[in-house]
Structure 1
Amino acid sequence: MRIILPYIFFTVLFAVQSFAAPIVKLSTQHSYQRIGKLCDWYLDKDAKLTLNDVMQPSFQANFSAHEHEMRSYGITNAAVWVHATYVSKERTYLVVEFANIDSISLYYFENGQMKAIASGSHTPLKNKRFNIPGFSFELPSSNGQPKDFWIRVRSGNAVIIPLALATPEGLMESFKWLFVIELMYIGVVLALFFYNLFLFIHLRTLNYLYYLCYLLCFVGFVLIYVRGFHVFLGQTLSYFINMNGISFGAVTYMFAIMFCLSFLNGKKHTPRLRIFLLAFMGVLCLPIICNLAGYRPGAIKILEVCSFLLPISFIYMAIIALRQHYKPAGYFLGAWFVLLMSLMVFAAANTMWLPFLPFGHWTFHILPLASAVEMSLLSLALGSEYAEMKKQMIAAIKKEVTERTKELNESNHVKDKMLGIISHDLRAPLNNLSGLLDLVELKALSAGEIQDFSLTVRQNIKHITGTMNNMLNWSLSQMNRIETRPQKIILYPFILQIIETYWYATDQKNIHLKADIPEGIVVLADLNQLNLIIRNLLDNAIKFTPKGGMILVGCRPSAKTVELYVQDNGMGMGQEEVNKLLSETSFYSTDGTEEEKGTGLGLQLCKEFIMRNGGVLQIRTAPGAGAEFSFSIPRV
């Protein structure tokens, strides 16, 4: 009896006072009401007060009202006391629409007795009135009279307290709409996930893999941890996620960094920031370590700092990429700008940095909404990148087709030239030989005429032999059947040996052929290819040098190379002719001083074999001033 009387006294006292305080009135028209503005609040910094302490009449002045429908105290070890008065003619439900609260105690009087109900994230799920994100308590009907209740809240997470009172009908109706934003969010996320999963399977690029991992982790962090959907995963998982959910946020940002560096090509666009972000992944390990060590407030504070630094870094990197004309970075920039703004608004509302913001239930939805917009923009960024990549692939294919077409045309040109060589340059000398043999067989020529014609026969045979050799070597080179095998060559005897084979050809045109090669010069080249180069250059020089002219084969040695040249004082040529001779794809030839014919094939072979031996053919000439053909090869 002595125990009951004080409670009756306080009940009567608060009943009297409640008529002067805001009262929550539930009815058929107002079956669900958020009551943050209608409650009195007190922050117990030492978390030592009991219900008896806060019910004392002298303590009531410490309670204060709040202008928003929700109250947030940030990360604190303090306890929060809430007092409210309600009027209802039927059962009433108190709903706390936030899942990550460690401990909630409800106190009220019924039939003169104080009732206490404990709940929170650490309470077994089976003890919850409804197994949904958040917490609910059943209050007795007040029979139309004001009735008081008190709540004590304490948590290792951020202390956010959204309160509502509802009748049974209002409670069921609220369940339909309470998570409508989250259900829409899940629909958007599933569409984005499967769309980008299909592209990843098709393209197999890391960008899509990192995006999918980031998408899953961020959605899991927002829905399962922040919005409390972990209650559907069973007692063990629900408790684990509530205690370690911040670690999922850290992992989410790790994938965000990998996606950013891969998508924006941080190694190319911002190498210094790339190093910073890679190092920052080590910082993201700290929240995980704090979680494992049981220090949740420290983990939350570190992740809050990361939540601002990382989006700012990503935005800066996207701006740099945009300035370097990487168009998909525009969507990336918009995505992280949206998320950064939502984080700033959420933080400002929760911590009351901007008191004019109407802190309420909408702040729970800002992260899912902003996240859906961000994920959509990132998906558009990937789509834009794919379109750019496809455009580049088409351009590359067109370029390759153009080059192949050009090569085919050049190949057809070469084929036509080869057929021309066979049909004209080889057939004419062979016809001449055939005619001479017919005349000999018919004994239509005298001994003197046969002697005269022997020179023509010799020249025809020499022309045919040279042309056939050049055609054979050129064909083999085009099929990559000729290997270049460099070896040491003593230049002086090598050149003299070649010159000795040209005494007859030079004697026919009274050309003076000499060599200017110092003894002891050793070069590194393929013996057969160098032989063919010198012979073809000498053949050209003899062809275009008039009777009584001079040809000089010489060299200009330097420390590492030797420049070999064949110089004549013949007809010379203009720049247009030089350009035709140096063309990679055409055979150019003109008649010599004695109407000597040519194919242009020998000079093409010279250019290719000179290149194989590490040199480049150069021509110094002018009309009427002779010509010098030169190239350099390595010196030993």
Structure 2
Amino acid sequence: MLPAQNVNVLSSDRPYVRIAQTSGWLVDPTAMLTFQQVRQQAYGSLFQPVKHEMGAFGITSSAVWIHGRVSNNATNVTYLLIEFSNIDSLSLYYEHEGQLHTVQSGSMQYKPNTFHFHGFTFELPANDGLPVDFWLRARTGNALIVPLAVATAEGIPTALAGMYVVELIYLGVVLALFFYNLLLFIWIRDKAYLWYLGYLISLAGFNLLYLRGFHYSLSPSAALFFNQYGIGMAAISYMFTIGFSILFLQSKKYAPLQTRILRVIFWLLWVPVFCLAFGWREPAIRINELCSFCIPILFIWMAIRAIRRGYKPALYFIIAWSTLLVCILLFVTTNIGVLPYGHWSFHILPIGSAVEMVLLSLALGHRYALLKKETIDMQAAHLQYAITQKDLLEDKVNLRTQELAKMMQHLRESNTVKDKLLGIISHDLRTPLGTLSGLLELLEMKALTPQEIKEFAQMARQHIKHINSTMHNMLNWSLSQMNRIETRPVKVELAQLFQLITDTYRFSAGQKNIKLEASVPPGAVVYADDHQLELIVRNLLDNAIKFTPRGGTVSLGARDAGNKVELFVTDSGNGLTSEAVYKILYGNKLYSTDGTANEKGTGLGLWLCKEFVVNNGGELRINSIPGQGSTFYFQLPKEPPAVF
């Protein structure tokens, strides 16, 4: 039960009393408690007073119970007033003369009252001056705000004055500004005024029809509509003010980034409108609250950029939106319970928006005074834009010229490779084929001795080997240039591969009395394309034999390198100069020299080795000292790369 001092006494000298702080409040998160439950003594201690002038709980699905006590020594009727019209459901319970009375109200059950009070009124019996206990249950899909008061019939005008004097002044300011700016729009046809007029009407509608409940002066269906969907006018007002701000601040010129952001927000503001269309008021309110913080900050940021670049009307804009932003911050933070909610909270938005509207009208007037100067500046800007475009065009021409030069260089390099290939075909292939043809003619004429035939067979074998190797390399190179060769790594056992290759080249090595060695750790494997790896090792081994003098040594081997295996081919040949090494590894042309027995080469083999080693995740390296031989080596992975 409430303590005795919490009885709210009405009298002829005290016809109107706000009773939020002298009543008990209980939040029901389940919204399932009944009157029979909350009136029990067990719940009595759970009713606690609020610290401020009214109960404000933000957007919540909970129900709120209020237990109050009032006595009236003046008249036989006491009016319980809820001075906020956007509460969906209100249920009043009280006992009188041994009977329980229940009265339903709320915005979902429109009931006009004789006082034209834009909130909700309930009648309580005077009870011959004795205290009357009442319980009130409130629940809504809007922000749950319950400004609670009691009054006699004589005290109702006091309540009306407290509720609507500021709003009526605000309405007068809005109407004056509307007609003033409407005339300016008709006169100069500036679309910024049209956006501003839309902003005036939608913001005034939000403040007066939704927030302060003037929709109760309309028909029942209109009152219900504005209660359900009135929050959407805030989103619509932001749409209008975004359009107005972009035109007024010339933000395409002064703040292009902020302009793009605001245009995105403009279309996102349709989201709360659609939410309301589907009956989702809470997300619509949350989005509007977020926009109430973000959009003014963006406006101020945009205006600061404009004023820094010499656009003076932006100063009014900064002051206007800074004022409104402070008011919005105060309103929203009180609405979500961060700051205490009082009756001043209802007036802060109309006052702030009235000041903002006046300042924006002054800004529009200043803007009109600068229109001629703006036209001259725009012409100068167009000229500067043309100069800038000319510079950009010149930069693009220079860039395209550089790209064309690179393409020409690439074409020249391609032509060099083409010429080299033609030289290979005309010399390195035609010459041995011509030699073979001549030898065959001599053989047919039986002009050769047995010893000469034996030498002929050896020479023919050498030429055929050269032609076969050259044709094989040319085919692989051509396919690689056309991106026809795909690298398909598999597990390759090195011992088996090395055995196959050394068996193939043992005869060639024997022809020059070269000792051919192969060493590989037991079980050594790599993860690579087996065909490409075979071509790499064959070419390196072939080159080693070619450039090793008679009686020399060529070694083919592999060694462990952590998570990789290093493959190498070492010879005891003439070695390479650092310049030759650089040409082989980094040059853009085919590099070749004759072997120690005048064996011919094309350079394609090493070129393919470099490319195929890279394709398999390695890099070809060369260690060489002139006169002491060379080592060609590269590393390949033991396992395929991990896939995440």
TM-score range (shorter-chain normalised) is 0.5 to 0.7
The yes-or-no answer on 1:72 pairing with 2:56 is: yes
- SS of alignment partner, residue 141 of structure 2: coil
Match of 2:17 among 24, 33, 37: 33
1:48-68 deviation per Cα after TM superposition (whole angstroms, max 9, x unaligned): 001111110111111111111
Q: Name the amino acid aligned to 2:352.
A: A
Please report how far the alpha carbon of residue 298 of structure 1 lies from its aligned counterpart in structure 2 after TM superposition: 0.9
The yes-or-no answer on 1:361 pairing with 2:346 is: no
Q: Name the amino acid aligned to 2:190.
A: T
Name the residue aligned to 1:325. 310
The yes-or-no answer on 1:271 pairing with 2:256 is: yes
Output aligned runs, 1:133-532, within 5 Å. Answer: 133-354=118-339, 357=340, 359-389=341-371
Name the residue aligned to 2:382. none
Q: Name the amino acid aligned to 1:113.
A: Q
- SS of alignment partner, residue 143 of structure 1: helix
**Partners in 2 of 1:209 and 1:197 — Cα distance?**
8
Name the residue aligned to 1:488. none
Please report how far the alpha carbon of residue 176 of structure 1 lies from its aligned counterpart in structure 2 after TM superposition: 4.1
Tell me if the contact between 1:129 and 1:136 (Cα under 8 Å) persists in the aligned partners: no
1:477-505 deviation per Cα after TM superposition (whole angstroms, max 9, x unaligned): xxxxxxxxxxxxxxxxxxxxxxxxxxxxx
Name the residue aligned to 2:111. 125
The yes-or-no answer on 1:83 pairing with 2:67 is: yes
Name the residue aligned to 1:581. none
Q: Name the amino acid aligned to 2:71.
A: V
**Partners in 2 of 1:150 and 1:129 — Cα distance?**
23
Please report how far the alpha carbon of residue 395 of structure 1 lies from its aligned counterpart in structure 2 after TM superposition: 11
Please report how far the alpha carbon of residue 394 of structure 1 lies from its aligned counterpart in structure 2 after TM superposition: 11
**Partners in 1 of 2:298 and 2:372 — Cα distance?**
29
- SS of alignment partner, residue 107 of structure 2: coil
Q: Name the amino acid aligned to 2:343.
A: H
Please report how far the alpha carbon of residue 175 of structure 1 lies from its aligned counterpart in structure 2 after TM superposition: 2.5
Please report how far the alpha carbon of residue 285 of structure 1 lies from its aligned counterpart in structure 2 after TM superposition: 0.9
**Partners in 2 of 1:87 and 1:233 — Cα distance?**
34
The yes-or-no answer on 1:109 pairing with 2:91 is: no
**Partners in 2 of 1:285 and 1:201 — Cα distance?**
29
**Partners in 1 of 2:116 and 2:220 — Cα distance?**
11
**Partners in 2 of 1:129 and 1:104 — Cα distance?**
19
Tell me if the contact between 1:132 and 1:229 (Cα under 8 Å) persists in the aligned partners: no
Name the residue aligned to 2:7. 23
1:385-427 deviation per Cα after TM superposition (whole angstroms, max 9, x unaligned): 112225668999xxxxxxxxxxxxxxxxxxxxxxxxxxxxxxx
**Partners in 2 of 1:306 and 1:144 — Cα distance?**
50
**Partners in 2 of 1:225 and 1:173 — Cα distance?**
22
Aligned CA distance change for structure 1 residues 157 and 218 (closer, same or farther; 3 Å) = same
Name the residue aligned to 2:637. none
**Partners in 1 of 2:243 and 2:300 — Cα distance?**
15
1:577-626 deviation per Cα after TM superposition (whole angstroms, max 9, x unaligned): xxxxxxxxxxxxxxxxxxxxxxxxxxxxxxxxxxxxxxxxxxxxxxxxxx
Q: Name the amino acid aligned to 2:239.
A: M
Name the residue aligned to 1:100. 86
Please report how far the alpha carbon of residue 134 of structure 1 lies from its aligned counterpart in structure 2 after TM superposition: 0.6
**Partners in 2 of 1:394 and 1:329 — Cα distance?**
19
1:520-555 deviation per Cα after TM superposition (whole angstroms, max 9, x unaligned): xxxxxxxxxxxxxxxxxxxxxxxxxxxxxxxxxxxx
**Partners in 1 of 2:181 and 2:370 — Cα distance?**
17
Aligned CA distance change for structure 1 residues 34 and 19 (closer, same or farther; 3 Å) = same
Q: Name the amino acid aligned to 1:118.
A: Q
Q: Name the amino acid aligned to 1:377.
A: L
Tell me if the contact between 2:58 and 2:337 (Cα under 8 Å) persists in the aligned partners: no
**Partners in 1 of 2:247 and 2:376 — Cα distance?**
23
- Aligned pair count reads 377
**Partners in 2 of 1:43 and 1:49 — Cα distance?**
10
Name the residue aligned to 1:57. 41
**Partners in 1 of 2:187 and 2:317 — Cα distance?**
22
Name the residue aligned to 1:510. none
**Partners in 1 of 2:72 and 2:251 — Cα distance?**
62
Tell me if the contact between 1:130 and 1:136 (Cα under 8 Å) persists in the aligned partners: no
**Partners in 2 of 1:276 and 1:172 — Cα distance?**
47
Tell me if the contact between 2:66 and 2:135 (Cα under 8 Å) persists in the aligned partners: yes
**Partners in 2 of 1:251 and 1:30 — Cα distance?**
43
- SS of alignment partner, residue 109 of structure 1: strand
1:42-83 deviation per Cα after TM superposition (whole angstroms, max 9, x unaligned): 000000001111110111111111111111111111100000
Tell me if the contact between 1:346 and 1:366 (Cα under 8 Å) persists in the aligned partners: yes
Please report how far the alpha carbon of residue 142 of structure 1 lies from its aligned counterpart in structure 2 after TM superposition: 2.8
Please report how far the alpha carbon of residue 231 of structure 1 lies from its aligned counterpart in structure 2 after TM superposition: 1.3
- SS of alignment partner, residue 182 of structure 2: helix
Q: Name the amino acid aligned to 2:344.
A: W
- SS of alignment partner, residue 125 of structure 1: coil
- SS of alignment partner, residue 289 of structure 2: helix
TM-score calculated relative to the size of structure 2? 0.57
Tell me if the contact between 1:107 and 1:149 (Cα under 8 Å) persists in the aligned partners: yes
**Partners in 2 of 1:276 and 1:142 — Cα distance?**
62
**Partners in 2 of 1:247 and 1:353 — Cα distance?**
24
Q: Name the amino acid aligned to 2:34.
A: T
Name the residue aligned to 2:623. none
Please report how far the alpha carbon of residue 20 of structure 1 lies from its aligned counterpart in structure 2 after TM superposition: 3.1
- SS of alignment partner, residue 326 of structure 1: coil
- 5+ residue gaps in structure 2? 379-644
Please report how far the alpha carbon of residue 23 of structure 1 lies from its aligned counterpart in structure 2 after TM superposition: 1.3
Name the residue aligned to 1:477. none
Tell me if the contact between 2:2 and 2:24 (Cα under 8 Å) persists in the aligned partners: no
- SS of alignment partner, residue 218 of structure 1: helix
**Partners in 2 of 1:171 and 1:228 — Cα distance?**
16
Name the residue aligned to 2:598. none
Q: Name the amino acid aligned to 2:301.
A: Y
Aligned CA distance change for structure 1 residues 124 and 348 (closer, same or farther; 3 Å) = closer
Please report how far the alpha carbon of residue 130 of structure 1 lies from its aligned counterpart in structure 2 after TM superposition: 4.1
- 5+ residue gaps in structure 1? 1-16, 397-636
Identical positions, percent: 47
Tell me if the contact between 1:214 and 1:256 (Cα under 8 Å) persists in the aligned partners: yes
1:165-196 deviation per Cα after TM superposition (whole angstroms, max 9, x unaligned): 00111113433443111110111111111111
**Partners in 2 of 1:192 and 1:151 — Cα distance?**
42
Tell me if the contact between 2:110 and 2:223 (Cα under 8 Å) persists in the aligned partners: no
Q: Name the amino acid aligned to 1:115.
A: H
- SS of alignment partner, residue 179 of structure 1: helix
- SS of alignment partner, residue 123 of structure 1: coil
**Partners in 2 of 1:163 and 1:38 — Cα distance?**
10
Output aligned runs, 1:528-539, within 5 Å. Answer: none
